[in-house]
Amino acid sequence: LGTIVVAVDGTSGSGKSSTCRGVAARLGIRYLDTGAMYRAVTWWLLEHGVDVHDPAAVASYAAAPRLRSATDPLAPTICVDDRDVSVEIRSEAVNAAVSPVSAVPAVRERLVALQREIIGDGGIVVEGRDIASVVWPDAEVKVYLTADPSARAARRAAENGAADLSATEASLLSRDRIDSGRAVAPLTMVEGAVQVDSTDLTLDEVIDLVAGLVTERA
């Protein structure tokens, strides 16, 4: 397990974060939330008044924010320029801006390089959209996690206390559309990935299933 790489890709709100943290904690390995890295860059751009819908402007600042990801599954945090922004990156403003920012090639190039550095010798569960397709195609275990949009919206709303389910669902679907349709590293299920639909499973059941795949292949 000390060298294994577990790649978990999937749609927004499919339960990737809770699943990956649970699997990593159970197996005693590290955890990397690559979505938090795209969110952190987006947060920095918004803070600095950069127009997130101007790809050239976004590209010119792609290398500016200094990022640090903590990979302990029990306390995953992300710092930008030494400030912990783990809470700030979950705001509605970041939700709305992160997909266009993530579609900019210069942003992806920089973050993919950082992610590969963090993965290093392995022993890690990595979640995102392009982990199996781009970041680490040699991952020993590849999972593609999905759930029905209404289930995803209900879970997300329960997490952040949002009252408007249909607005939450629309926001998730809008991100999925941009993430799946972009030219660079679109969300996709690679050959060899195991598709897990979590609609009718509890979190514990999904963790059991994924942890089982990992121990089978370790």
Shortest CB 162 distance to ligand C5P, Å: 15
Q: Residue 34 interacts with ligand C5P (CB under 6 A)?
A: yes
SS3 assignment, position 187: coil
HSE, CB side, 13 Å, CA atoms: give it for residue 119: 23
Tokens of 6: 């577990």
Cβ atoms of 175 and 128 within 8 Å: the answer is: no
Site for ligand C5P in 121-140 (CB under 6 A): 128-130
- Residue 71 binds to ligand C5P (criterion: CB under 6 A): no
Residue 10, annotated as binding a ligand: yes
102 is an interface residue for ligand C5P by CB under 6 A: yes
For 34, phi then psi, to 5°, come to: -70, -25
Name residue, tokens 């897990």: 196
Q: Looking at beta carbons only, is 39 or 110 nearer to ligand C5P?
A: 39
Q: Is 35 in the site for ligand C5P (CB under 6 A)?
A: yes
**Of residues 155-184, which lie at the interface with ligand C5P (CB under 6 A)?**
175, 179
Instruction: Measure the CA–CA gap between 33 and 17, rounded to whole angstroms.
Output: 7
Question: Residue length, the chain?
Answer: 218
Question: Among residues 12 and 207, whose Cβ is nearest to ligand C5P?
Answer: 12
Shortest distance, CB of residue 176 to ligand C5P, whole angstroms? 8
Does 5 interact with ligand C5P (rule: CB under 6 A)? no
Instruction: Return the DSSP state at 189.
Output: P
- Tell the smallest beta-carbon distance from residue 113 to ligand C5P (Å): 13
Question: Which of residues 5, 12, 52, 62 is near ligand C5P by CB under 6 A?
Answer: 12
How would DSSP label each residue in 19-33?
Answer: HHHHHHHHHT-EEEE
Size of the site for ligand C5P (CB under 6 A): 13
Kindly give the pairing relationship between strand 83-84 and strand 78-80.
antiparallel
Q: What is the largest CA-CA distance in the chain?
A: 48
Please, which residue, 29 or 145, has the CB nearer to ligand C5P?
Answer: 145
Please identify, using beta-carbon distances, which residue of 129 and 142 lies nearer to ligand C5P. Answer: 129
CB of 130 to ligand C5P, least distance (A): 5
Q: What torsion, rounded to 10 degrees, do the Cα atoms 84, 115, 130, 70 define?
A: -30
Enumerate the known binding-site residues for ATP: 10-18
Residues that bind ligand C5P (CB under 6 A): 12, 34-35, 38-39, 98-99, 102, 128-130, 175, 179
